[in-house]
Amino acid sequence: MGDCIFCRVVRGEVPAHVIFEDQTTFAFLDRHPINPGHVLVVPKRHEPDLFQLNEEEYLAVMRTVRAVSASVLRTTAPKRVGLLVAGWDVLHAHVHVVPMHDYHDLTSRQTLEGTRGNPSDAELDGLAARLRSD
């Protein structure tokens, strides 16, 4: 639990490109985005399953998802902002907020095969700053 990668991100032990933080939730850029502006929203408390969060935490996560989605929409101007909850990769509840430029962005070959983008820290820093200020 304490060694979970997302718990370590929340505690600041692992560098992340932070978009938003409040008492209950934390939002940061995905290291391997489907598209630029792909954000992960997590509860601060470790819980593997999003749907096992208590009501207050679940609603807090979704409130942050909505705020971050609006920022992603304004900053990256996609056709849609899609949400993805799967939980196969990291066992700490998280919602993917994905700028969608194509109908298949959420189910694309690069998503299915784990060959998504690999932007530099400088690129991620710049985008995080834009998303925070938007």
Q: Which positions touch Zn ion (CB under 5 A)?
A: 4, 6-7, 46, 92
Secondary structure (H, E, C), 11-47: CCCCCCCEEEECCCEEEEECCCCCCCCCEEEEECCCC
CB-based closest residue to Zn ion = 4
Closer CB to Zn ion, 76 or 92, in the complex: 92
User: Strand order in 25-29's β-sheet?
Assistant: 18-21, 25-29, 39-43, 95-100, 80-84
CB of 90 to Zn ion, least distance (A): 8
CB of 108 to Zn ion, least distance (A): 27
3-state secondary structure of 97: strand
Closer CB to Zn ion, 4 or 106, in the complex: 4
DSSP annotation string for 35-88: STT-EEEEESS--S-GGGS-HHHHHHHHHHHHHHHHHHHHHH--SEEEEE---S
Q: Length of the chain, please?
A: 134
CB of 82 to Zn ion, least distance (A): 24
Closer CB to Zn ion, 1 or 70, in the complex: 1
CB of 4 to Zn ion, least distance (A): 3
Closer CB to Zn ion, 7 or 131, in the complex: 7
